[in-house]
Structure 1
Amino acid sequence: MQDNGLVKLSQLIYEYCGIRYSDKLQALQNKTAKRVAELGLSYWEYCGYLKMTPAEWDVLVVLLTINETYFYREENQLNECCSIILPKLKGKNSFRPLRIWSAACSTGEEPYTLAMLIQETGKFLPGSVEIIATDINKKVLEKAKNGWYHNGSFAFRRIPENLLKKYFSKEEGGYQIKPSIQSMVRFQYVNLISEDLTAKIGEVDVIFCRNVLIYFDQETTKRVIRNLHRNLSVGGYLFLGHAESITDMALGFQKVDSEKTFYYRKEPNLG
């Protein structure tokens, strides 16, 4: 009966956020057993509890999601975006700022790194670039908004020393991101498989959705990419993780190979 309850829970999770556990029930049990026991429920009962108490999804998502990230992660992509793509897009829209969407921002290292590198270019006035940072995990979003990181954090393993000194204030026990960087980033909750929630982001010029698709099956991957495609301006750019590919999915993107990395461009004729 417990296994049947786990199967049902895996189905609910798949429907809610697209993460597939149907073939990883032991892993699912390892992640959730303590919480289910705390509530004094069986897995069948927990499935009912999720339906009756929607706020429990916030608790469950924290248990399920992996939020391993750090500043300056996959630097070739970041440099390509900030030094080459953004200057090329500058002035594309006179009626709004350039907009970048960090679609799975976790605790904020990716969007804050983008903000730092944009300032480092010296090519953009304050307010001319907006970064929207989203995640399905509300707990990590709160940490990201605070912009404070412990000085022994894994987050600083790759950040150049000059950026750390320039854009963080050293405090007892950690570092606080400076207001000039925080002001460039807006954080909000988004479930990437939701067409309604992703639509609220509005039109963007660049999307970073790195190391997310590896948790989805092909059907969910296509669903997420279609949502991203709708938000991306014609000729806009999509960055995925190095282990992720949508080249053969015919979803309206063309692969772009640069000297040190690759990414995708929304095809104008399919915009």
Structure 2
Amino acid sequence: MSSLFSKTISLGKQLKISDQDFAQLRDFIYSQSGIYIADNRKYLLENRLVSRLKELNLKTFSEYHYYLQYDPGRKRELNRLFEVITTNETSFYRNPPQLKVFQDYVLKDILDGLRKSRSKRLRIWSAGCSTGEEPYTIAIILHEVLRTELRSWDIKITANDLSEAVLATARRGYYSEYALRTTPKEIIGRYFEKEDKQYKLKSEVKRLVSFGQINLSDRLQLKRVERSQIVFCRNVIIYFDDDMKKSVINAFYDNLLPGGNLLIGHSESLHNISRTFKPKHYPGAIVYTKEG
């Protein structure tokens, strides 16, 4: 989830959202997802939801709010709502400096520690995985680092997102050239097969990743995620208010095993959000560590 409301829908200019309807829908979206929509985003919410009203043959935003609460199809529509209010723009090997720190320092230290303890059980959580580029990049890095040794490891990358639509795309594992725009050419050659105009991810990468829908505002769902040595949550918490940020970061802290690491987006910070993590500064990245 890298940018929210970055595009608008130019349909139904005659449909306008009142201040009251905006407040109701904003509060509903917040209660369901933790995503907070500021007052200055009102017209963007309006433009995004017009297509849903048209498809459902609803005449007002008030009717749509009622539909989301009481209609028998509300659960399916909630998934559609999540799709239209979030924009999932990402790519493989996004933010290379941070990934280099992950590979050369974070992952190396975790793997070395596991080897010393005679354990080869590695768990990584990608929270807000979008269409799969992030967790698959992590899986590729693991292949690159461990090579033939990977077969002897018990590795699972748990990848979650709010939108079922993006998860379906992720599970397929087919990507455009644009999704690979920041990926080294040799990596594309090793881990993808060209099919017409798309690139198919190889099965040995896909099998390391397990996808599932999760709502980061649901504490019970978060508690069910297997405890991890590493958590990635990049470009997600910027869409939450401070209370929601604190709740999610605390859930990551609880999930992480002692000595585990949290990686967030390069434009994000835990400043004034949490003091439980120890920040470690590297060239091009900050990694937040759970001491213990």
Query: TM-score, normalised to structure 2's length?
Result: 0.86
Does residue 45 (structure 1) correspond to residue 68 (structure 2)? The answer is no
Amino acid aligned to 2:69 = K
Contact 2:279 2:289 in 1 (8 A): yes
In the alignment, structure 2 segments of 5+ residues that lack a partner are 1-16
1:186-205 map, 5 Å: 186-205=210-229
CA contact (8 A) 1:11 1:22 kept: no
Aligned counterparts of 1:243 and 1:150: Cα–Cα separation in 2:
26
User: Hey, what does 1:149 align to over in structure 2?
Assistant: 175
Alignment of 1:23-102 (within 5 A): 23=39, 24-41=41-58, 42-52=60-70, 53-90=74-111, 91-92=113-114, 97-102=121-126
User: How far apart are the structure 1 equivalents of 2:281 and 2:66?
Assistant: 48
Q: CA deviation at 1:99?
A: 0.8
TM-score (norm 1): 0.93
1:132 corresponds in structure 2 to 158
Higher relative contact order (CA 8 A, sep 6+): 2
The residue type equivalent to 1:46 in the other structure is: Y
Q: Distance in 2 between matches of 1:162 and 1:86?
A: 21
Where 1:54 maps in the other structure, the secondary structure is helix
Instruction: Provide the C-alpha distance between the structure 2 equivalents of 1:238 and 1:11, rounded to a whole number of angstroms.
Output: 29
Q: Aligned residue pairs: how many?
A: 266
2:284 equivalent to 1:253: no
- C-alpha displacement of 1:243: 1.1
Give 1:103 shift. 0.6
| Alignment match, 1:20 | 36
- Residues in 1 aligned to 2:212 and 2:119: alpha-carbon distance in whole angstroms: 23
Supply the AA of the counterpart residue of 1:38.
E
> 1:203·1:232 contact (CA, 8 Å) conserved in 2?
yes
Offset at 1:96? Answer: 6.3
Question: C-alpha separation between the residues in 1 aligned to 2:52 and 2:86?
Answer: 15
Which amino acid letter does the alignment assign opposite residue 221 of structure 1? Answer: K
The whole-number CA distance in structure 1 between the counterparts of 2:210 and 2:129 is 11
Match of 2:291 among 264, 267, 271: 267
- Report the AA paired with residue 125 of structure 1: L
Q: Is the 8 A contact 2:242 2:273 kept in 1?
A: no
What's the CA shift for 1:185? 0.7
Match of residue 215, structure 1, among 239, 244, 247: 239
Structure 2 distance, partners of 1:175, 1:80, is 27
Query: How far off its partner does 1:51 sit?
Result: 1.4
Q: Is the 8 A contact 1:71 1:109 kept in 2?
A: yes
CA contact (8 A) 2:126 2:134 kept: yes
Check 1:260–1:21 CA distance in 2 against 1; reply closer, same or farther (3 A cut): closer
1:172 is matched with 196
Say if 2:121 is the partner of 1:104: no
State the distance in 2 between where 1:179 and 1:65 align: 28
Measure the CA separation in 2 of the matches of 1:88 and 1:77.
Answer: 15
Letter in 1 for 2:46: Q
Q: Distance in 2 between matches of 1:50 and 1:133?
A: 27
Is the CA contact 2:262–2:289 (under 8 Å) kept in the aligned structure 1? yes
Contact 2:249 2:274 (8 Å CA) reproduced: no
2:82 maps to a residue whose letter is V
Corresponding residue of 1:3? 19
Describe the SS at the equivalent of 1:98. Answer: strand
Q: Report the residue type matching 2:160 in the other structure.
A: T
5+ residue gaps, structure 1? none
